[in-house]
Chain A
């Protein structure tokens, strides 16, 4: 039995998840489907979204906020942070534009979450 706090929304439901002998996972305490999915993933392959900043070549906006465009395996976060710390953005890209692929670490892309490089 594992006690979990659901991170899907601000409600923060307290969940209990149990791996049964037949391989099934029993979840209780959730108040919606997202809570169920979250608990299942926590018991098998925990996933997280990752938000950070990357350096830019522009003095007027030195740090560009970024996030992964999907949840990535929690275990991939340290490698993803290494990738992020090496990036320097040299074009004036907009909010939503792809900054980098996350390959070969995991699936997905890093996207910009601000248009600070193109507007004021």
Chain B
């Protein structure tokens, strides 16, 4: 077994699977590293359907969607190392001490049951997914009894272990995973007393409000939050309060709801410990790396895709970003000596955007078009989206409706724009009458 690869992919979820397959197809020698025993990432526990509508035109269950990629992976020469953790990652020094990066490659220290192993790769793809915000990140008073879970851990207990984590529960946060779990726990015989959301609008998709809550008569309470938990060994009750316009609890509105579990669905954050260790610049809003159109981060040779780059709501786009990063990482591994830094144009957004991806455009190769993903900061009606370069209009597109939970994808044509380093493509939105 060799210890030298072109591309090392870290994380075997949908992003990493797509990246590994694409990199190998592009001619690279690929190592796929996964810390769990099985590939598939979070999809393993997402037994509900709705995956793959964009890509396959079908409503697949999560594991079924992953299976499509696992089948492809088995037909490739990608080397997979499961139950392996990346303990350390560091850039190799360039051939001359006085040369600015790019590094010639990376050294990875892998730890598994079989022991320790050092490998080298010319480029690295971070496909480590995201993690959930936990009780520590929301302000709840009281003791810390058992019975407080994130929606993802409740999903793991129910769907992977077959153990129902609650009999009577309250869900805090109206994110999609919480809504999906409200239905799942109800189907398995638990009572979901209600979903409480501090914001005045739900953060999950309307269809999940309909098919997960309305179908099962589960109430959704907006502008309310959990302010206290009660119980010693096990949770016995939670205190619910109304909140004001800036999400502060209003004194005197408390009510006590008896329950044995509190399930938190209060948001996801990209997992970027390895990126930070590599000195990759992170974006203040996405909390993932600042990326170019190929998913390359601020450290040449380090790529990011899927939920590690920014939290996606559709797995179809996660796979797409994996493929883009996989192809680019393979290309980089085989041509990195020609890589030029500072050959970047950038994308800027006005205040009406929460964020847009990518944040910059690498210009070494001619760029015909780029795929842009964006989220609106607020819910808005008819909106005109424009992309301009200086005074020149590159694209405009009308949207009937934009909502922050729904990420929009569009292609911005750049053929003939003749982008130069330092150019800025400005993205703007304007509400129409």
Contacts and interface: CB of A to CB of B under 8 A. Distances in A.
The residue in B53, B207, B215, B313 that gathers the most chain A C-beta atoms within 10 A of its C-beta is: B207
Contacts of A6: 207
B187 interface: yes
Contacts of A95: 63-64, 67
Interface in B43-82: 44, 47-50, 53, 59-64, 67, 70, 82
B122 to A, nearest CB: 28
Contact of A63 (B67, B70, B161, B206): B161
A84 B314 CA distance: 28
B162 interface: yes
Contacts of A30: none
Given A12-B206, A12-B207, A53-B47, A113 B162 contact: no
B406 A113 contact: no
Contacts of B64: 65, 67, 95-96, 113-114
B38 A113 contact: no
A57 interface: no
Interface residues of B, number: 35
B53 A9 contact: yes
Contacts of A115: 67, 70
Contacts of A5: 206-207, 209-210, 214
A10 B61 contact: no
Given A114-B64, A115-B70, A52 B47 contact: yes
Nearest to A80: B187
B205 interface: yes
B233 interface: no
Contacts of B206: 5, 12, 14
B61 A116 contact: no
A95 B314 CA distance: 22
B38 A10 contact: no
Given A10-B313, A65-B159, A95-B63, A116 B210 contact: no
B201 interface: no
Q: For this complex, into which size category does the number of interface residues on chain A fall?
A: 20 to 34
A74 interface: yes
Interface in A30-76: 48-53, 55, 62-63, 65-67, 74
A3 to B, nearest CB: 10
A89 interface: no
A49 B63 contact: no
Contact of B162 (A51, A62, A81, A116): A62
A114 to B, nearest CB: 4
A48 B210 CA distance: 12
Contact of A81 (B49, B187, B214, B314): B187
B371 interface: no
B316 to A, nearest CB: 10
Contact of A12 (B48, B82, B205): B205
Nearest to A5: B210
A7 interface: yes
A119 interface: yes
Nearest to B159: A53
Given A55-B162, A63-B160, A95-B64, A49 B314 contact: no
Given A7-B210, A12-B206, A53 B162 contact: yes
A113 B205 contact: no
A4 interface: yes
Contacts of B161: 62-63
A10 B162 contact: no
A10 B59 contact: no
A118 B300 CA distance: 40
Contacts of A120: 37-38, 82
Most buried by B among A51, A52, A77: A51
A5 B403 CA distance: 15
A103 to B, nearest CB: 20
B121 to A, nearest CB: 24
Contact of A116 (B63, B82, B214): B63
Interface string B156-183: 0011111000000000000000000000
B70 A119 contact: yes
24 contacts: A4-B210, A5-B207, A5-B209, A5-B210, A7-B207, A7-B210, A9-B207, A10-B53, A10-B313, A12-B207, A48-B211, A51-B49, A55-B162, A63-B159, A63-B161, A65-B64, A65-B159, A67-B64, A95-B67, A114-B44, A114-B63, A116-B38, A116-B44, A119-B70
Which 8 pairs from chain A and chain B are nearest by CB? A12-B206, A114-B63, A113-B61, A5-B210, A65-B47, A113-B64, A12-B207, A7-B207
Interface of A: 4-10, 12, 14, 48-53, 55, 62-63, 65-67, 74, 77, 81, 95-96, 113-116, 119-120
Given A53-B47, A113-B60, A114-B44, 16 more contacts: A5-B207, A5-B210, A7-B207, A9-B207, A10-B50, A14-B206, A48-B211, A49-B49, A50-B187, A55-B162, A63-B161, A65-B62, A65-B64, A81-B188, A95-B64, A116-B63
